[in-house]
Structure 1
Amino acid sequence: MIQPLIKYPDPTVRLISANVRFFNDELEQWITDIVDTMKSNDLEALSAILIGIQYNIIVLKEADIYTPYINSRMIKHSGMVTATERSIYYEGISVDVDRYETMTVIYEDIHGESHHRDFSGDLARTFQQQLDYCFGSTFVDRVDKEMKQRINDYLEYGLVADGGSCPTIFYRDRFKLGAKYLISGVALSSLVPFFVSEKVREWVYRIDLAVLAAIVVLIVIYFFYAQYESRLYKQCTSCQTGNIIGTVAILAFQLAIVASAVFFWIKP
């Protein structure tokens, strides 16, 4: 079935495509939709994200054959050439872009079998364009700041903001990691009563109280900073919200356990 193409200023283009995990009838339907859309729009290549399917699927047309490349990754490249490119997403814009002249890609076919292929010349450039889309990027991310600003000024709403896609690592995770380390430290202190005197035990108890307070502070900072980061990456707000709540609940549960150990076991 022919699908509408995602075009500026739709922010979906900034989403990072997930890897395909199930090679089933649904995947075959997605590929059929991509091919139908390519034929309808006379396209030589198309990434799934450009018809709203957030999976790492690229279909490349060679002669009259449409070949799907699933979960593609570039593993080797060489040379660099500059050529003028046009974008499916940013219509009416053409810019000079540097791309690798040759490249090797690993990918899976429609049955989940692994393959690799070497590309060169125009075919390599075309594939790199589509691979950019799979990772939340467009050709404007490859031009210099001056050209990027000119494109931004030309577009009615400016460029679709960088960073619109979900990062794999959030800064908030540092607060979570810190809280986990401190919780582990307090848990280890539960061994203290077996090995130290009453005086040392009281000293450890006071340290644990300070550490428990620090853990509470880190959890609170994590929660509010996570809300801030969630607003920065609006495309993945829904999945972040569940993750944030779940993380806070787990940390609070772990805190309750070690706090109980401190007050009922370590306390002199």
Structure 2
Amino acid sequence: MVKDIITYPTPPSVNYSTDVRVVNEEIENLIQDIKDTIDANNLDGLAAFQIGSMYNIVVIKKEDGSFLELINPRVIGASAEKITTVETTAYFPGLSAKVTRDANISIVYEDRNLQQHSLKAEGDDAILLQRKIDYTFGSSFINKLSSDEKKRFETKLEFGSDIAISETCPTTFNRDKILKVINIAMVAMVIMLISSFFSDNDKLWDYQLYTSFGVLGLNIVYFFYAQYEGKKYTSCTSCQIGNIIGTTIISLSKLTLIMIASYFLM
């Protein structure tokens, strides 16, 4: 029978799974339910925990379509080598995160006769098994994330979208370089204004006028480019638009004041 998969923000029903001591009809039906749910959702594996069961059971779907049943699985060894991949999980549907895990692992498990087996896994198989065994401890990949990746993933959870990783507003933008040139040009205009008090150079007003045209043009470029750049970060579009408009108004106000002072004093 196909079961509902527990998804965020619903917490697992228990903190730790319970080892299977007797394989009875209940356990056999549970294993079949896990298989049916895997097929129905086109998944590569599930832990019983993920469909609300307290038992320590993991089922993996192999490439040939058969299933590997792992009762009471435990990781007993891992290599020093680590591997970082982008993982997805049914608990956080539609979301992904970069997770660092052991590249090679050794596990022990039991079959339906409660006979113990061991296996070694590497690469994708090792990652899949680690993900599923995590659930038997009431955990998910969020507990394996680095602090920076966890912050990015929490942003994804907030917006309910995997593209939120690229929408986190950065602290600096390329448009800031344009603003820096504008500020330098206006400082030069102030210097020319002050210099006019100590010089009879008739060309200073012309230089001031030409510079003001350049600053005005740069403000126009800044305004439109900033909006273009801001579209990459739609999670904070409203605050960016307000900042862009405010910055442009302030810059133009400074330019206006400088030119008024220059007109009367130069």
Question: Would the TM-score normalized by the shorter structure come out above 0.5?
Answer: yes
**Other-structure match for 1:152:** 154
**Other-structure match for 1:73:** 74
Q: Is the 8 A contact 2:71 2:110 kept in 1?
A: yes
Structural mapping, 1:117-266, within 5 Å: 117-156=119-158
**Other-structure match for 1:48:** 48
SS in structure 1 at match of 2:12: helix
User: Please, which runs of 5 or more residues in structure 2 have no aligned partner?
Assistant: 161-266
Change (3 A) 1:13 1:118: farther
Question: Aligned Cα RMSD in Å?
Answer: 1.7
TM-score (structure 2 length as normaliser):
0.57
**Counterpart Cα distance in 1 of 2:122 and 2:148:** 29
User: Higher relative CO (CA 8 A, sep ≥ 6), structure 1 or 2?
Assistant: 1
**Other-structure match for 1:217:** none
Give the drift of 1:157. Answer: 9.8
Give the drift of 1:14. Answer: 6.4
Q: Is the 8 A contact 2:20 2:55 kept in 1?
A: yes
Structural mapping, 1:43-122, within 5 Å: 43-62=43-62, 63-78=64-79, 79-122=81-124
**Counterpart Cα distance in 1 of 2:51 and 2:57:** 11
Give the drift of 1:15. Answer: 2.2
Note the alpha carbon deviations across 1:54-108, whole angstroms, 9 max, x for none: 1110001111111210101111111211111011101222111111111110000
**Counterpart Cα distance in 2 of 1:120 and 1:14:** 29
Q: Is the 8 A contact 1:75 1:104 kept in 2?
A: yes
Note the alpha carbon deviations across 1:137-191, whole angstroms, 9 max, x for none: 1111111222223322432499xxxxxxxxxxxxxxxxxxxxxxxxxxxxxxxxx
Q: Is the 8 A contact 1:73 1:107 kept in 2?
A: yes
Q: Counterpart amino acid of 2:86? A: T
**Other-structure match for 1:36:** 36
**Counterpart Cα distance in 2 of 1:76 and 1:102:** 8
Percent identity, please. 37
TM-score (structure 1 length as normaliser):
0.56
Q: Is the 8 A contact 1:13 1:137 kept in 2?
A: no
Give the drift of 1:27. Answer: 0.7
Q: How many pairs are equivalent?
A: 158
Q: Counterpart amino acid of 1:130? A: K
Q: Counterpart amino acid of 2:8? A: Y
**Counterpart Cα distance in 1 of 2:94 and 2:26:** 34
